[in-house]
């Protein structure tokens, strides 16, 4: 009986953090990055450098919280929706690893304007993929 309550609490934590992760990635992909790109390369780069670390840290905390709590809930009480949520969320890991060198290059102060725009626009597709994964994982936890 106690394990079922623990699994329910962990499921609630996973659902809340998955929803926040999905919302944050949706905001970045659909609002923040396109608006920043329209401001011009110099403002874009300055804003990106300022917000990148904060956004990355928040995304990481939400993502890890979602994965760990979902895995723990699966261990206590296996449900199909939890496994489906894990399958939806796992693709975020290789995408994030692939973006690490790109984000490091953006910290270089000697970037040209064209390179800056190219580098900032490139992760947009990755952000859309992370958004799709986050929303899918959230829906799997809520619906199934």
Q: Which pLDDT belongs to residue 16?
A: 92
Tell me, rounded to whole angstroms, the distance of Cα 7 from its chain centroid: 24
Q: Which pLDDT belongs to residue 2?
A: 54
pTM of the model: 0.80
Judging by beta carbons within 10 Å of its beta carbon (0-12, 13-18, 19+), is residue 121 exposed, middle or buried? Answer: middle
Q: Which range among 32-36, 58-62, 83-87, 131-135 shows the weakest confidence by mean pLDDT?
A: 32-36
Phi/psi of residue 122, nearest 5 degrees: -60, -45
pLDDT in tens, 110-140: 767 677 677 767 677 777 888 888 889 999 9
Residue 135: which of 23, 11, 28 has the closest Cα? 23
Instruction: In whole angstroms, give the CA distance from residue 66 to residue 11.
Output: 9
């Amino acid at each position: 009986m106690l394990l079922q309550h623990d699994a329910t609490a962990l499921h609630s934590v996973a659902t809340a953090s998955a929803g926040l992760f999905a919302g944050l990635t949706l905001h970045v992909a659909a609002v923040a990055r396109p608006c920043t790109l329209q401001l011009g390369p110099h403002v874009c780069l300055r804003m990106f450098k300022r917000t990148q670390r904060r956004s990355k840290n928040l995304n990481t905390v939400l993502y890890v919280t979602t994965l760990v709590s979902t895995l723990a809930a699966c261990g206590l009480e296996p449900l199909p929706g939890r496994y489906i949520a894990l399958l939806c969320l796992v693709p975020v890991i290789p995408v994030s690893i692939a973006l690490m060198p790109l984000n490091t290059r953006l910290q270089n102060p000697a970037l040209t304007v064209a390179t800056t725009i190219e580098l900032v626009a490139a992760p947009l597709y990755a952000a859309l993929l992370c958004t799709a994964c986050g929303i899918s994982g959230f829906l799997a936890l809520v619906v199934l």
